[in-house]
């Protein structure tokens, strides 16, 4: 039964790491990256639809992103959604392809983005710690109910802490990589 707690905890923490990677992927670092459009939703026939489900998104050159809609009639809707999004870049449209030229980041903007990465990192560390707390509560509840012996509960709590430390370390490594990516020229 205690094994179930560890398996569930690992699954939950893995999902948290994947969510952090997704979050970091949407933060631009001065280079064109299709994932920077992952949060952009287009009102397509009344349904908020991700850009990558409506168009082919590719990097044409180092800092130019091209969006080629499969339905040419949706090009203006896609352009409008990108313009109104928080990516802060104005798209250009030639009638069949939307281009986004990703400008070089200023030092001030790099620092702002690094702070945003740091803040996201802290949020995800809190999620990991909350998962730890929930697992610990469950273990203590099982011990109190007599489902776990005291020494088994102690080992289970130690394992939960070990897993938590590993995931926090992974978040710190991902954060460090993203900050380095943002701050590099």
Domain end call among 78, 101, 124: 101
Same domain, 44 and 132: no
β-partners of residue 48 are 43
What is the average pLDDT across 110-129?
92
Name the 3-class secondary structure at 70.
coil
- SS3 for 91-128, per residue? CEECCCCEEEECCCCCHHHHHHHHHHHHHHHHHHHHHH
Longest distance between any two alpha carbons in the chain, whole Å = 70
d(CA 118, CA 124): 10
Q: In whole angstroms, what is the distance from residue 37 CA to residue 17 CA?
A: 20
CATH code of residue 39: 3.30.1360.40
CA distance 117 to 171: 11
Same-domain status, 175 and 110: yes
Q: Are 76 and 95 in contact (CB under 8 A)?
A: no
Shared domain for 17 and 73, answered yes or no, is no
* Per-residue pLDDT band at 14 (split at 50, 70, 90): very high
Average pLDDT over residues 71-97: 85
Rounded Cα gap, residues 9 and 134, in angstroms: 9
Q: Which two tokens stand for residue 60?
A: 């044409």
In this structure, what token pair is assigned to residue 52? Answer: 């990558």
Query: What backbone phi and psi angles, to 5 degrees, belong to 172?
Result: -60, -40
Q: Do 148 and 78 share a domain, yes or no?
A: no
Same domain, 140 and 156: yes
Domain that holds residue 124: 4-28+106-184
Q: How far apart are CA 174 and CA 61, in angstroms?
A: 26
Last residue of a domain, one of 65, 85, 101: 101
Residue 2: pLDDT above 70? no
pLDDT of 62 above 80 = no
So what's the pLDDT on residue 163?
A: 95
CB 20 within 8 A of CB 124: yes
Same domain, 42 and 131: no
Mean pLDDT, rounded, of the chain:
87
29 pLDDT exceeds 80?
A: no
The kind and range of the H/E element at 25 are: helix 2-25
Task: Mark whether 121 and 146 lie in a shared domain.
Answer: yes
Same domain assignment for residues 172 and 137: yes
Confidence of residue 3 (pLDDT cuts 50, 70, 90): low
Q: Are residues 151 and 167 in the same domain?
A: yes
Work out how many domains the chain is built from and give that number: 2
Rg (CA), the chain: 22
Q: What is the pLDDT of residue 31?
A: 73
Q: In terms of domains, do 44 and 135 share one?
A: no
- CATH (domain of 168): 1.10.132.20
């Amino acid at each position: 039964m205690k094994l179930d707690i560890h398996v569930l905890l690992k699954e939950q923490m893995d999902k948290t790491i994947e969510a952090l990677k997704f979050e970091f992927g949407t933060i631009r670092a001065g280079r064109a990256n299709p994932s920077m459009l992952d949060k952009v939703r287009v009102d397509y026939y009344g349904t908020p639809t991700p850009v990558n489900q409506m168009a082919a998104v590719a990097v044409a050159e180092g800092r130019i992103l091209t969006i080629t809609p499969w339905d040419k009639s949706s090009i203006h809707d896609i352009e409008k959604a990108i313009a109104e999004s928080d990516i802060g870049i104005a798209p250009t449209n030639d009638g069949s392809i939307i281009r986004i030229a990703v400008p070089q980041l200023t030092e001030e903007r790099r620092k702002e983005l690094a702070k945003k990465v740091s803040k996201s990192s802290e949020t995800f560390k809190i999620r990991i710690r909350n998962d730890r707390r929930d697992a610990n509560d469950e273990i203590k509840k099982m011990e109190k109910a007599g489902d776990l012996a005291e020494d088994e509960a102690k080992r289970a709590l130690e394992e939960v802490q070990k897993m938590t430390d590993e995931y926090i370390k992974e978040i710190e490594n991902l954060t460090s990589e993203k900050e380095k990516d943002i701050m590099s020229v």
